[in-house]
């Protein structure tokens, strides 16, 4: 048959018919490729993630169609808690909101000060998860999400609760991370786990030091780097901690999204064991392929970092301040300047929209 006798409409109809007839075959072929890709361990791989073969279709779909979102923005709350075996295991040491724009595929990391006051709770935001769990097991995530919405006006769609063990063991699994420390600092009162009530009081602490310059950190040192809060000067503030946390998370992300990790079955197995033992989340297992797609889509994107401070920003605007403690149960807290919570929400919205 001559090509001139084939009309474009007929070509399209025949192509569509072919796709319909062979869709199952194409999907089965895709699943088989996944199995081969993971070293003929596809079945156990899916089992470890509690995934069904049909869940893999989510990887082929559009993330915005699979994930909850507000105006094509999906927000993930990550709470780093101390975990069992520590004092106050359900208090959050790290509070980060990962905001993903489906339209631009740009991720933004928002560090939330742990001392930010929550008016309705009459407590700091780092205690929201704790109070929720005290009220009812499993309610901590809902209360933490509600606290973020109240303070920042940011709806949280999914939450992950991680402890120090996940953080430390994952970094060790990756062989450590490389970061640039600037400035260096010394903390002479870093708490020693298990010695919270030791006598004399000096026995409760150790001295840690980080020199300015490039450094390779294992899990233990990385944990100390992000938790330190008693050094002299600005590095002893929670704002500096937030900056260091973002720095370490970026280094961790960069190292995880490499073939040396993603194609290493033993490392993946070990990572899943760490997660299954320690992770608490309201993210359904069926969404894991969608999250994997987001990670790949945003792999080469620069993660924008947003932090809050009680000092003027680059535009000379101060958004937070520390009020007299006698008004807040004697605690050192942070609230918006002039107690204007609407201004804080607008400030964040402007930053997210790139207008600030």
pLDDT band for position 190 (cuts 50, 70, 90): very high
Q: What is the pLDDT of residue 63?
A: 87
pLDDT band for position 131 (cuts 50, 70, 90): very high
Which of the listed residues 15, 39, 60 is the one where a domain comes to its end?
A: 60
308 belongs to a structural domain = yes
One domain, residues 220 and 271: yes
Helix axes 140-152, 341-352, angle to 10 degrees: 90
Which of the listed residues 41, 60, 79 is the one where a domain comes to its end?
A: 60
One domain, residues 231 and 306: yes
Say how far apart CA 100 and CA 72 lie, in whole Å. 8
109 belongs to a structural domain = yes
Helix (DSSP H) and strand (DSSP E) numbers for the chain: 13, 14
Over the stretch 223-235, which tens digit does the pLDDT of each residue have?
A: 999 888 888 888 8
One domain, residues 53 and 79: no
211 belongs to a structural domain = yes
One domain, residues 203 and 315: yes
Over the stretch 75-106, which tens digit does the pLDDT of each residue have?
A: 999 998 876 656 677 889 889 999 999 999 99
One domain, residues 21 and 169: no
One domain, residues 53 and 163: no
Say how far apart CA 89 and CA 126 lie, in whole Å. 12
Q: What is the pLDDT of residue 237?
A: 81
One domain, residues 32 and 169: no
User: CB–CB of 295/255 below 8 Å?
Assistant: no
Q: Is the pLDDT of residue 56 over 60?
A: no
217 belongs to a structural domain = yes
Q: What is the pLDDT of residue 28?
A: 45
Provide the token pair at 287.
């969404």
User: CB–CB of 207/187 below 8 Å?
Assistant: yes
Say how far apart CA 127 and CA 322 lie, in whole Å. 18
One domain, residues 194 and 280: yes
Over the stretch 196-209, which tens digit does the pLDDT of each residue have?
A: 888 999 899 999 99
One domain, residues 42 and 82: no
**DSSP H/E element including 46:** helix 42-48
The domain of 54 spans: 3-60
Mean pLDDT of 108-121: 94
Which of the listed residues 16, 41, 60 is the one where a domain comes to its end?
A: 60
One domain, residues 133 and 24: no
Question: 26: which residues sit within 8 A by CB, 6+ positions away?
Answer: 19
One domain, residues 199 and 278: yes
Q: Is the pLDDT of residue 353 over 60?
A: yes
150 belongs to a structural domain = yes
**Exposure of 308 in the CB half-sphere (CA atoms within 13 A):** 27
65 belongs to a structural domain = no
One domain, residues 55 and 184: no
Q: Which residues of 264-274 are buried (b: 16+ CB within 10 A; e: fewer)?
A: eeebbeebeeb
What pairs with residue 116 in β-bridges?
334
Contacts 24+ apart (CB under 8 A), 223-226: 223/164, 223/167, 223/168, 224/190, 225/179, 225/181, 226/94
Over the stretch 237-285, which tens digit does the pLDDT of each residue have?
A: 877 888 898 898 888 888 887 888 878 888 888 988 888 888 899 988 8
Task: Identify the CA nearest to 64 among candidates 104, 5, 124.
Answer: 104
Give the count of domains, the chain.
Answer: 2
Q: What is the pTM of this model?
A: 0.75
């Amino acid at each position: 048959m001559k090509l001139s006798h084939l009309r474009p409409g007929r070509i399209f109809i025949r192509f569509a018919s072919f796709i319909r007839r062979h869709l199952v075959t194409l999907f089965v072929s895709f699943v088989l490729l996944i199995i081969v890709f993971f070293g003929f361990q596809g079945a156990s791989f899916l089992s470890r993630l509690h995934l069904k073969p049909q869940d893999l279709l989510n990887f082929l779909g559009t993330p915005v169609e699979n994930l909850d979102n507000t105006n094509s923005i999906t927000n993930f709350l990550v709470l780093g808690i101390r975990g069992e075996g520590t004092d106050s295991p359900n208090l959050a040491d790290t509070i980060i909101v990962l905001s993903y724009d489906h339209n631009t595929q740009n991720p933004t990391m928002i560090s939330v000060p742990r001392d930010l006051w929550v008016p309705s709770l009459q407590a700091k935001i780092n205690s929201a998860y704790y109070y929720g769990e005290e009220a009812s097991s499993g309610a901590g995530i809902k209360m933490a999400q509600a606290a973020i919405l109240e303070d920042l006006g940011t709806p949280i769609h999914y939450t992950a609760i991680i402890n120090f063990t996940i953080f430390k063991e994952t970094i060790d699994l990756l062989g450590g991370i490389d970061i640039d420390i600037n400035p260096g600092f010394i903390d002479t009162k870093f708490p020693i786990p298990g010695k919270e009530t030791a006598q004399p009081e000096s026995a409760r602490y150790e001295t840690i030091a980080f020199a300015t310059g490039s450094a390779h950190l294992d899990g233990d040192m990385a944990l100390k780097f992000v938790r330190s809060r008693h050094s002299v000067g600005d590095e002893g503030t929670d704002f500096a901690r937030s900056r260091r946390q973002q720095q370490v998370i970026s280094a961790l992300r960069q190292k995880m999204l490499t073939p040396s990790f993603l194609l290493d079955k033993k490392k993946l197995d070990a990572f899943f064991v760490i997660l299954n033992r320690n992770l608490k989340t309201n993210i359904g297992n069926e969404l894991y392929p969608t999250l994997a797609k987001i990670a790949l889509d945003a792999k080469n994107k620069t993660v924008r970092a947003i932090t809050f401070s009680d000092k003027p920003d680059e535009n000379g605007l101060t958004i937070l301040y520390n009020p007299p403690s006698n008004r807040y149960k004697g605690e050192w807290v942070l609230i918006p300047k002039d107690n204007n919570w609407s201004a804080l929400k607008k400030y964040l919205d402007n930053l997210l929209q790139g207008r600030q």
